[in-house]
Structure 1
Amino acid sequence: MPYEPPTHTVERSLRATTGARTVAGVDEVGRGAWAGPVTVCAAVTGLRRPPEGLTDSKLLTPRRRAELAPVLRSWVTAYALGDASPQEIDDLGMTAALRLAAVRALEGLPVRPDAVILDGKHDYLGAPWKVRTVIKGDQSCIAVAAASVIA
């Protein structure tokens, strides 16, 4: 299957259907680790053309990820990181810890998003955010792909 770069299709749809002006893409790293924190990135990209080669961080070589991350940090409108510690994961469970890290990231943004795109099929975030889940969002959605690489 040929490479399809991520697009703003989901962001545009959310803006049209919910009236959202600011949309954040959210993705995490560390979720599968046996030990260590889970880190979530929330990224707001607007509707600008992304840097060349943007895709899911798992599809990039470590070298390309390292090259692209600083470019993305400068390119995005805003981004913030949130963590949940191993102790918080043990105490709360992975889903609640993932939500905690996502809330920390979203609350760390300089502007509150009107809607959030989560990578995957499960809405672990919930109210008060308007959430759209997108399976393989880190491959198809520019804001989620940017969050994937920055995280």
Structure 2
Amino acid sequence: MIFVYPNHTGLVAGVDEVGRGPLCGDVVTAAVILDPNKPIIGLMDSKKITEKKREYLSDIIKENALAWCVARASVAEIDQLNILHATMLAMQRAVAGLTVKPGLVLVDGNRTPDFGIAAQSVVKGDSLVQEISAASILAKVTRDREMVELDKMYPYYGLAQHKGYPTKAHLEAILQHGVNDIYRKSFAPVKKRLMQSSLND
């Protein structure tokens, strides 16, 4: 971790999201304030570590962080607001849900919503800032588990494998089985399928 925090007072919260790209399911965010007296070894971008290690680290983070909160924006909110604004809303909910108030919020990416607290975006923050890495792990573990549960309800989409992302197999499954309430109807591949369905009716 090489990021140097700007001048601030109080604790640092890291924030990240998972699920902006998928065609279905909520967008999930997390906010984490780490305990400097309980360092966690192995924190990094959740996409760069194995599922087994993510699961392990998720438990360690929850046990040792000063505070953490996982939040979300629903499929309906994504369709109503668009994915960017829904993600910002979910980030605000995650920070608001922290039981300890940070003095600074660091957000992965290139923009931050208004938290009512000093905030800064950090490009590649999930690789540079431990608090953001921890948030990315909590968000990804939470959302991946939800996709596995949805796969049990709708086994014909393959959600446990692709986690809702628009893979070739997923797009073919949508064409074959149609669209249900877990799908983001404002997303182009889903919208296209709905249009095809209406033309065929």
TM-score range for the pair, normalised by the shorter chain length: 0.7 to 0.9
Other structure's SS at 1:101 match: helix
- Name 1:144's counterpart in structure 2: 132
1:8-27 to 2 correspondences below 5 Å: 9-10=3-4, 13-14=5-6, 17-18=7-8, 20-27=9-16
Whether the aligned pair in 1 keeps the contact of 2:30 and 2:138 (CA below 8 Å) is yes
How far apart in 2 are the matches of 1:57 and 1:87? 26
1:73-92 to 2 correspondences below 5 Å: 73-92=62-81
Asked if residue 130 in structure 1 is aligned to residue 118 in structure 2, the reply is yes
The amino acid across from 1:132 in the alignment is Q
The amino acid across from 2:65 in the alignment is V
Name segments (4+ residues, structure 1) moved above 4 Å: none
How far apart in 2 are the matches of 1:112 and 1:34? 34
Tell me how far 1:113 sits from its aligned partner. 1.8
Asked if residue 61 in structure 1 is aligned to residue 76 in structure 2, the reply is no
Larger Rg: 2
Coordinate RMSD, CA, aligned: 1.5
The amino acid across from 2:64 in the alignment is W
The structure 2 residue matched to 1:96, chosen from 72, 85, 88, is: 85
Percent identity between matched residues is: 36
Q: Name whichever structure is richer in strand by fraction.
A: 1
Tell me how far 1:48 sits from its aligned partner. 3.9
1:5-42, CA deviations, whole angstroms, 9 ceiling, x for partnerless residues? x35x44xx33xx23x20211000111111111011100
- TM-score of the superposed pair, with normalisation by structure 1: 0.85
1:80-103, CA deviations, whole angstroms, 9 ceiling, x for partnerless residues? 011100100000111211111111
Tell me how far 1:144 sits from its aligned partner. 0.4
Other structure's SS at 2:137 match: helix
- Name 2:36's counterpart in structure 1: 47
After TM superposition, the structure 1 stretch with the greater mean CA deviation from structure 2, 43-52 or 126-135, is 43-52
- TM-score of the superposed pair, with normalisation by structure 2: 0.65
How far apart in 2 are the matches of 1:40 and 1:27? 6
How far apart in 1 are the matches of 2:66 and 2:48? 24
1:55-86, CA deviations, whole angstroms, 9 ceiling, x for partnerless residues? 11000011111111101111111100111001
Relative contact order: is structure 1 or structure 2 higher (C-alpha 8 Å, sep ≥ 6)? 1
Tell me how far 1:49 sits from its aligned partner. 5.6
Aligned residues: 139
Asked if residue 38 in structure 1 is aligned to residue 27 in structure 2, the reply is yes
- Name 2:146's counterpart in structure 1: none
Other structure's SS at 2:88 match: helix
- 5+ residue gaps in structure 2? 140-201
